Structure 1
């Protein structure tokens, strides 16, 4: 159990190192207003914190830096015990999402890009599974006598389109009546169940169009394949983390960037077992060597009664926890509002 004074010293070391990326000595700490103690007292507390494993000495300086244990204590017992404050950045997100000038999917992409820009870290958003998206609208847009654009719109704001050439045995009027029947039949159905629904319906509701079954099924399957194969995540600012001084080491930077490029970070977020609450994984807690100098903060947001997405930020262990944690929590609430 740390004393109240040791907690103050640890907090000051972590926050000084976050700001400067330089090892922290007792002389620097003794000048801080919140540490109204002598340099000798601070040195003793630092020695105790080092013995307990909360801070450690670097090879290049006499100062100390937070250890993984020190960051964990800082997050769990200092940051999380403070009242959450609204950060100025939240207003920028709220303004973006309230504009209503974009489709939901475009708005979400802009929000993820904004998050990486404001934090200067890498931001990742896992969206809804395409299997659990529902058909909102099916329509046909004629572009010539024999060609039209077949459009599938989901309740999650995803739009998939395909240009089709009408078979010689179908005119545009007939095709439009087919699309109208499909729209009435499939609206509200899960994307993952459309193929089964179509197969059953040609014997009942779509019996009048049985002669066009092959053309209809082919076009619908093409659209569904495109929709289901779409990546359900957005990643922005993947090069931001490489600007951090921790990654001046080219070998570290290479392995981390490769991990991000290969989408391994997405698998880490997807595998997070605490899917319905904020998680902070620091350093080796991430269980991937390339991430041993990183922190990954993940927060869920609600898509529907039964489905959640996740929004995450990847940065150095020397992350601005007091800023990022409340920001992510508030952005997650805004994202949930977007799906209401």
Structure 2
């Protein structure tokens, strides 16, 4: 009965349109992306992103005058230039959009033999929106939906805000699908294995050996951690498990945090400051990996591969390499599909 159109005699008598039913939806959700690098597109994206109370927890009375009076008039141009430097010009889109769509399409192929599973993707900020894809899945017969926030480590500013938006969408729906959300998978054995493999495989392509490998995670304000956000602990656990998998020391594989914004203190040590200090103290060869990012994006391609590399070389370092995210590679898809199959248990 999967994907079957049906109508009761009563519905037919009332000219009610046929209804699809019997499917299970899987919705992959990543952070978001602007539609273009121009000022207008960037401003629209940043307005939605920086208006999220999960992202900026300051009082609206304090934050909005800064956001609308300063940030949205100055930051779109700067961020637009950064995006332009790493834009996927072949498809005229960000690589985050490219990889997220590819992940959804590849996952759909892997579930092709299960005719009741339908895979889709969305962005928390920008397009395609969460609301549009949840509604589309429901209309296409998905009575159950598994929402997968694409963040291995849980943070209120990432995982929680994705779930918030899904629940907000359901508030407006008369016929709600049953819902499951994917929990963090920061210590999942397959995830740890593929991270370790990606490090080993990348280093094997080099003609030099890094003295230090940094695991650079996206930062959050320290105040969020003090309020009970488990993100900091989950990042350190991921790094520890990868280190143990590789048989390395704490000195060989270290944890740092990147992407600070605003005047608050954020989780430390800071990636940029650590890289600068290492170079100044005589470290000549380093590699950086971003285990908290499922896909390469502005924060990995521009902030780390470009900016961090420049900082290291400018301060006396000699060799720098960025280890790509798992993206839509075979290993990356193995991680995502492993999580989805586990969380679909009993549904598909």
Normalising to structure 2: TM-score of the pair?
0.26
| Structure (1 or 2) with the greater helix fraction | 1
Instruction: Return the index of the structure with the highest Cα Rg.
Output: 1
Normalising to structure 1: TM-score of the pair?
0.26
